[in-house]
Amino acid sequence: MNKVRTWLRSEAYKDKIYPELERLIAVVVFTIIYGVGVSWFLEASVVPLYTGGIPGLGQLVRDAMFVWFSIDVGSHFLGIFVIIMNIPVLLVGWFGVSHKFTIHSLISVLVQATILSWFPKVDMGLNGVEHVFAAAVLGGLLIGIGAGGALRFGTSTGGLDILAQYFSFKKGKSVGFISMLMNLFIAVIGALIVGGNVGPSGQIISGGVIASYTVIRIIVSTIMTDRMHTSYQFLSVDIITVTPKALVAEILQKVYRGVTLIKAEGAFSQNEKTLIYVVISAYELHGLLQLVKHVDPTAFIVTRPVKNVYGNFKRKTIA
């Protein structure tokens, strides 16, 4: 038992193993939240509500098969579709984003597929026409939390999130904004396919209604994604500390960002302190906070959003 405690307190565990365990738990938890939003809310609605990414494309294919060819592909179709279609996308993530990012995204894809096709669905009582708005909002909320939360910990729920992340590296646009454009395309195509025809629910719904409620879902999901994950938006961080040398050494080595030191004095304590100023990509904030907490638990930290950064600022890949 003492050996276990010693190992848990070791630098190797804190610096390498713990962050990976935290990331793994995060991707599983947030993927479950995402899957529940799709399975228990969107899929339960009498009006077809489309999610984004690969599952959204799977919904389109499933509904097209039903409307055009009267083929019911079964309850396991979405899960199988998600796994197969993510294979080329994961390859893009592997070579264009990050290896760790892709491995965790693969885990998310498997969890996601399981929830969509093989996990028991709970009837939330939202299968009536009068409950479509609630299903769209609540489903969109959970989807946004799941997708944004996974991205916040350096992972994703797979699918088009990986492509959004890839293009975000290249163009510097918000991940939520890029995902929104992709999802709007799915919403329009879904409305064209099912609108005015007998859908899987057995009812005829106009395309305008389908598109409108799906857009509501997209707006809610986009807001939550960017609230949870602000990657490629920048932050300036002020750290007031009494151990500047140790903290600067850790930032330079592990966060790999330049810092500026400013002498400061506490007005109440009248003790000399140092203000460390650093600019980071917002997805690096979690790691920076953990680092500061480890080196100086008494440090005072203030963060501010930064609209643009000019000069020698390296845009780095995710862990």
Q: How confident is the model at residue 210 (pLDDT cuts 50, 70, 90)?
A: very high
Please tell me the predicted confidence (pLDDT) of residue 170.
61
**What average pLDDT does this structure show over 192-208?**
84
Residue 147 pLDDT exceeds 90: no
Q: How confident is the model at residue 138 (pLDDT cuts 50, 70, 90)?
A: very high
Name the least confident of 42-46, 80-84, 224-228, 268-272.
224-228
Query: Is the Cβ–Cβ distance between 186 and 180 less than 8 Å?
Result: no
Name the least confident of 65-74, 172-181, 308-317.
172-181
Please tell me the predicted confidence (pLDDT) of residue 238.
95
Please tell me the predicted confidence (pLDDT) of residue 7.
67
The structure's pTM equals: 0.77
Residue with tokens 């959970």: 142
Residue 173 pLDDT exceeds 80: no
Per-domain residue ranges for the chain? 2-228, 234-306
pLDDT digits (tens, 9 = 90+) for 74-107: 889 999 999 999 888 888 778 876 777 788 888 9
Rank 7-16, 56-65, 226-235 by mean pLDDT and report only the highest.
Answer: 56-65
Of residues 181 and 314, the one with the higher pLDDT is 181
Distance CA 118, CA 255 (A): 40
CATH 3.30.70.120 fits 234-306, yes or no: yes
pLDDT digits (tens, 9 = 90+) for 231-287: 556 789 999 999 999 999 999 888 888 899 999 988 888 889 999 999 987 767 878
Residue with tokens 């990414």: 53
Name the least confident of 85-89, 90-94, 110-114, 179-183.
179-183
